[in-house]
A and B are shown apart, each in its own frame.
Chain A
Amino acid sequence: MTESVQRRSGAEGEALPPSSAPERAAAEVAALASGRENSAAARVRELAALYRLAEQLQAAQSFEELYEAALDSIVDALRCQRASILLFDNAGIMRFVAWRGLSEGYRTAVDGHSPWTPDVRDPAPICVTDILTSSEPDALKATIAAEGIRGLAFIPLISGRRLVGKFMCYYPAPHVFTDDEVNLAHTIGRQLGLAVARRKAEDELRNSEERFRLMAEHAPVMIWVSDAQGRCLHLNRMLRTFWGVDEAAMASFDWGSTIHPEDAANVASQIGEALAGRRSVTITGRYRDAKGRYRVLQTSATPRFSHDGDFAGMIGVNVDITERAEAEEQRELLLSELNHRVKNTLAVVQGIARQTFKQDMISSVALAAFEDRLQALGQAQNLLTQSNWQSALLDQLADLVIKTSGVTRERVSVSGPTILLPPKEALAIALALHELCTNARKYGALSNPSGRIALDWTASEAPQPILRLAWRESGGPPVSQPEHRGFGTLLLRRALAHDLNGEVDLSFEPSGLICRIEAPLMKAPGGFM
């Protein structure tokens, strides 16, 4: 520190006295020369200036107004003709943002010069009585002197102890800064620092709000905000267009009146529950658009809360799924029609068989067996239709076949993991299980009152899962190898093995029939296992 530079401690607020006798003398001379008022009058004037500044900073509508008010206050309170305000830019470099009485050449020459870095905490003002006697580099001294400046001060602009910039006041002659002046300058600096920081924060908030408002407004989905009672607060452009609502009429818009009468009760009860429980909800319903057409909207709504945690209402997105819903309906209709046709055809086949093989040609037992098989096929068909002909669950299939084969469910234990079968495999297994059930009922474990059947299966792990299914009869009459091979055996041994691309083993153990099926498990289309 040189003798001509006064550094003040911000915390103590006290000036270091000029340390040399000549300087003290010079200070007194300067004070007299400036014709300083007595201190009481000066204090009143300072307070008035600070009050005015505070008012103007508060009222400023832009950064420009803010700077002008501050410069007014600085030149007035510190009795200098020239002053400037500089702020750190985003790169942390001090830049001129406003000035009075400075040439462009000067501003360019000293731009970026700062005694402080942005990370300094609570720096104190720096006052230079005379630049020519300071320890600054000669080049800088020459630049400043060439601008006609001798005395100058760097006053930090501080917001929350953080340095945001500085203001400068310049004097044409050497200037000894009194305690009062430095205190006053420091106070102005603090006020200005706070005002700049507040203004920046407000701008950022406004920009951010505007950005998000634009995003919501122009997003290619329908977005809405409701209050805690479900009343409309805001609709974005796409939703306003959908309903044909003006921005001005939005708050009084009764969206509920556009719901299709058949969907109104359901939508109202779901949204009511979500509002009461303050939870997210997804609702599908038909709404009348501006052209009077009903469109299917899928609404996903989520509760929103104020800063205090109070429930403020819902915010939601509507997606028009009309085409999707129609396509789905069409597909279901088609599938149901197909199912009906196929089963009707099975019934026709049954009718043909009855007409072709009149009682004299074929036993009624054989005909009944045939009809039973057709029926098992029809049941498997039903199950596949329920899953859009993508897959059938093995346990459901087993239950269904056992039930329709007239077997007492209590005498068959079924166990195994959840397995999805593709359509072809499902049909093959349904027919096979039907044969096993029928056989058991006629000759096997279910032909007496005490026999039992255990049906279980396992599936090995991927990449190539293998299904192992076992049908074990026990407690039935003694079993012997059948003398002739009927259709049932053929179906099991040949057709099943073929359709499943696997192995089927039938062993007529004395204790009961055991049928083992081992086949690669194909992935069901659209299956999730």
Chain B
Amino acid sequence: MLVVEDEALIAAMVEDMLASLGAVTVGPAGTLEKAMALAASEEIDAAIVDLNLRSERSDPVAEILRQRNIPVLFATGYGAGAVADGERVLEKPYTMDKLSAALTTTFKDH
């Protein structure tokens, strides 16, 4: 599971949560550059991508993942209106239950 998140503490927490859910974290990537590199090269089942990375939008990462047919879950504090219709959004702050439910839906839909 690719984690793209520029806040270290949030990244560590997501890693924790994923570990509890039995998933292995790829990354976490804190910059757009690193995130794009990982998105292009790693073996990934899905990605949790923070919409904003140091004031840059992370859409290019999502684009690479889409091309590889890897499902993306956007994490954001902006609210659901910040992404295009049809995208999966996880609103910050989120609980492990919410993360688990969101991942389940993502894999089911995909």
Contacts and interface: CB of A to CB of B under 8 A. Distances in A.
Interface of A: 336, 339-344, 346-352, 354-355, 368, 371-372, 374-375, 378-379, 382, 385, 406
B83 interface: no
A375 B93 contact: yes
B10 A344 contact: yes
22 contacts: A339-B78, A340-B52, A340-B77, A343-B93, A344-B7, A346-B92, A346-B93, A347-B13, A347-B92, A350-B10, A351-B7, A351-B9, A351-B11, A351-B12, A354-B12, A355-B9, A371-B93, A374-B93, A375-B93, A375-B98, A378-B93, A385-B79
A349 B93 CA distance: 9
A378 B91 contact: yes
Contact of A347 (B7, B52, B78, B79): B7
B107 interface: no
Contact of A372 (B11, B12, B95): B95
A352 B96 contact: no
A414 B78 CA distance: 28
A383 to B, nearest CB: 10
Contact of B77 (A344, A349, A350, A368): A344
Contact of B13 (A355, A385, A406): A355
Nearest to B78: A340
A355 B98 CA distance: 19
With most chain A CB atoms within 10 A of its CB, the pick from B78, B82, B93 is B93
With most chain B CB atoms within 10 A of its CB, the pick from A350, A372, A385 is A350
Given A344-B77, A347-B10, A354 B91 contact: no
A354 B16 contact: yes
Interface residues of B, number: 21
A435 to B, nearest CB: 15
A371 B78 contact: no
Contacts of A340: 52, 76-78
A350 B13 CA distance: 8
A375 B95 CA distance: 7
A378 B78 contact: no
B92 A352 contact: no
Contact of A375 (B10, B79, B94): B94
B97 interface: yes
A348 B92 CA distance: 10
Interface in B1-34: 7, 9-13, 16
